[in-house]
Amino acid sequence: MVNHHGLLGTCSYCNKSTTAVESKFLFNYIYERVKENIAAEDDLSSYEHALVYELGADDIDVASYDIVLMEWFNLGEEVYFDDLCDGVPDEFKVNSRGQETHFYNDDGFLERNFYEDRWTKFIDDIRHVHRFFNPNARGFLDSVFKLLVSDKDELKPEVIRTLDHGTKLYRARSADSYKKAKEIADNPASQLGPTPKDRASSQRMTPNGISALYCALERDTCLSEIRSITGDDVVSVAMTPITSLKFLDLTKLELVEPSKLTLLDVGYLDTQHLKTFLKSLVKKMSKPKGRNDELSYLSTQFVFEYLRLRFGNQVDGLVFPSVQTGEQGMNLVLFPEAVVISVKKFKEPSEMEAALGTESDDRFEPAANLAVVDGSLRFHKVKAIKTEAVTYRSIHDLYMSDEARKRFAPVYFEVDEQ
């Protein structure tokens, strides 16, 4: 910053002739970073305020301006430190109530999150303002997913999951009669492939008329995701990639590390909030449809279409956790253009063939990238649907963000698992 804005001059602290800026310019820059990157009292939720001042919790670091500058900004050894402290704005010393001003370390885990607010506005915009041509929504998603791409505009390897030939992906469909079950069994590649476009209904990631292939990495997850009810008959099958398929794995978003910024950098706090938001985004993308809310899936459909257009030349679809299994199972959705199921089935090698490394003599169509696994059809009678819940003693605990719950739950509220 000094090199960019400075001019040749004599430093008043070391008396060297070098590139220098006025101390006022430097100090004002630091004060602005305090305002931008450090939370003020108004940034705490009422719950967090009570934790600090009524319960005496130390989960949130609290300090006066001199400690902020000395320790948090690591400027205590600078020769200009005393002058820096002497020149701080009055509001750094005394708040509007005449009390000492306190600052709070915001590492992205406070209940306030910039991107949560922007997400709420994003949903409102696409629901009630501009649904199909929404430059604001596109800009918001660009800012959210910027951490996932390298300088070459390619997805970072840590968020890509590759599924090789032999990996099983499970599909299932309810059958309301013997005839329907027989149709599925006789031609699983067609019957359990993507729904025809003219019959494709609104799904989590796709609106009416857009057909994508939804699968799961576990058969039990697949059965849970179709939301069959007790007494339903269901047919399931396994498919496998013919070569390999690549997916943007939403469960790995939290592995992406932002640029190494410090409190002295512009955008530090925004980046911290984005990293925290990406963790919650996985839940938002996996959340089931709200009861009597026809627009529940609109946001995830918008995000899916964005990712499909933005990264469709790099990956074949998305991986996201199954909320129907308590996030224990994994779902996949393949982009519509990435699905071509072979009419031929894949026959798994015998134990001897596998031991000898004998290659399969299967010859699939050139365009095909998926094949039904021979002998993988299963027929199910749904016996029961199990509901599990976590019970809280406080309404605030119920509506607390997941990140805040992880931070405060072990100490400050009771959870009854029964």
Task: Decide which of 388 and 37 is more confident.
Answer: 37
pLDDT digits (tens, 9 = 90+) for 25-80: 999 999 999 999 999 999 998 888 988 988 888 889 999 999 999 999 999 999 99
Task: Decide which of 94 and 395 is more confident.
Answer: 94
Please identify, among 104, 119, 139, the residue that sits at the C-terminal boundary of a domain. 104
Q: How far apart are CA 136 and CA 86, in angstroms?
A: 43
Domain assignment present for residue 271? The answer is: no
Same structural domain for residues 343 and 396?
Answer: no
Q: What number is the average pLDDT over the span 218-247?
A: 93
Task: Decide which of 396 and 81 is more confident.
Answer: 81
Identify which of 135-139, 195-199, 305-309 has the greatest average pLDDT.
305-309
Domain extent at residue 201: 159-251+311-381
Beta strands in 115-260 (DSSP E): 160-164, 169-174, 213-216, 233-241, 244-249
pLDDT of residue 393: 81
Domain assignment present for residue 208? The answer is: yes
Whether 130 shows a pLDDT value over 60: the answer reads: yes
Domain assignment present for residue 222? The answer is: yes
Domain assignment present for residue 45? The answer is: yes
Same structural domain for residues 208 and 99?
Answer: no
Same structural domain for residues 76 and 225?
Answer: no
Domain assignment present for residue 70? The answer is: yes
Q: How far apart are CA 120 and CA 198, in angstroms?
A: 32
Phi/psi at 225 (5° precision): -70, -25
Please identify, among 84, 104, 124, the residue that sits at the C-terminal boundary of a domain. 104
Same structural domain for residues 364 and 400?
Answer: no
Same structural domain for residues 72 and 175?
Answer: no
pLDDT of residue 169: 97
Same structural domain for residues 91 and 183?
Answer: no
Six token digits for residue 31: 């004060």
User: Residues 134, 135, 140, 144: what is their CA dihedral angle, to the nearest 10 degrees?
Assistant: 100
pLDDT of residue 58: 83
pLDDT of residue 362: 67
Same structural domain for residues 99 and 218?
Answer: no
Domain assignment present for residue 115? The answer is: no
Same structural domain for residues 90 and 174?
Answer: no
Collect all residues with Cβ–Cβ distance below 8 Å to 121 and sequence separation of at least 6: 140
Same structural domain for residues 177 and 325?
Answer: yes
Domain assignment present for residue 290? The answer is: no
Same structural domain for residues 93 and 232?
Answer: no
Whether 412 shows a pLDDT value over 80: the answer reads: no
pLDDT digits (tens, 9 = 90+) for 247-265: 999 999 888 888 889 999 9
Task: Decide which of 158 and 404 is more confident.
Answer: 158
Q: What percent of the chain has pLDDT over 70?
A: 91
Same structural domain for residues 214 and 317?
Answer: yes
Task: Decide which of 57 and 328 is more confident.
Answer: 328
Same structural domain for residues 324 and 214?
Answer: yes
Q: What is the mean pLDDT of the chain?
A: 88
Q: Band the pLDDT of 411: cuts 50, 70, 90.
A: very low
Q: How many domains does the chain have?
A: 3
pLDDT of residue 360: 60
Q: Which of 337, 84, 346 is nearest to 194 (CA)?
A: 337
Whether 358 shows a pLDDT value over 80: the answer reads: no
Domain assignment present for residue 298? The answer is: no
Distances in Å between the Cα of 316 and the Cα atoms of 159, 295, 313 are 13, 26, 8
Q: Band the pLDDT of 356: cuts 50, 70, 90.
A: low
